[in-house]
Amino acid sequence: MAQQTAVEWLAERYNYITWMRNRDEISAGTADEWRDKFLEQAKAMEKEQIMDAYRHDLHPMFEGDAEQYYNEKYVNHESKKV
């Protein structure tokens, strides 16, 4: 079975939160807390997936550069847009 992407994982969690809210099993505040928590986890998962792809699929000889690649491509790139 293929590994879920961060987006697929997050979509499942958000659907679960919506289902729980619709059944009044959790409060709106709890739902918001869970959404924030799951979003942060998905961001970390996405970073790991990008770095793994860089290490293993794109540049296997440059394993140590995966963090640098991620920061240059995604972190520093985003800060330049602002």
pLDDT at 82 over 50: no
- Residue spans per domain, the chain: 6-81
pLDDT for 75 = 81
14 band by pLDDT with thresholds 50, 70 and 90: very high
pTM above 0.85? no
Q: How confident is the model at residue 66 (pLDDT cuts 50, 70, 90)?
A: confident
pLDDT at 67: 76
Question: Per-residue pLDDT for 61 more than 80?
Answer: no
In the chain, alpha helices (H): 6-22, 28-52, 66-70, 76-81
